[in-house]
Amino acid sequence: VQTWDTHGSTFPRLKNDLLPPLDQGVAALLDDLEASGLLDDTLVMMLGEFGRTPRIFAVGAGAIPGRDHWAPCFFGVFAGAGVRGGQVIGRSDRIGTYPSTTPYSPNDVGATVYHVLGIDPAAEVRDRQNRPTQLNRGEVIQPLFTGRAG
């Protein structure tokens, strides 16, 4: 089953198959949370663990062009739970290869989730052998809530 892990035929698959139901589903979720009064207390995130290569390429002879996995730059969409909507936080270089502003990591996303839950991301937790470890080593993505990109 091929879903979002598109390498070839990326653009027609996104346009015709993947993005329309995603758009409809996310819009319905946000509308329902808003109508029920739950959006203020619910953090909605849509993201993956990597982006796609800045350059378009053909996977094989005669293949429809696509893009491969690319870890240095990826996107995330956040809503609810105090997130200030309508903003773009961060930029990449002109071809989308690397961040040109403050980069955020998966650990930062995790710290942000803990923050919204009211849990100190730097809290110490203990494992079954009572060994201490820090819950998370990221930083809260403050511009999501303040609207001021750092």
- Does the pLDDT value for residue 57 go beyond 60? yes
pTM for the full model?
A: 0.86
User: Is-contact 36 42, C-beta < 8 A?
Assistant: no
First to last CA, the chain: 40
User: Is-contact 100 92, C-beta < 8 A?
Assistant: yes
Structure confidence at residue 9 (pLDDT):
80
Structure confidence at residue 4 (pLDDT):
81
Please report, rounded to a whole number, the percentage of residues in the chain having pLDDT higher than 90.
69
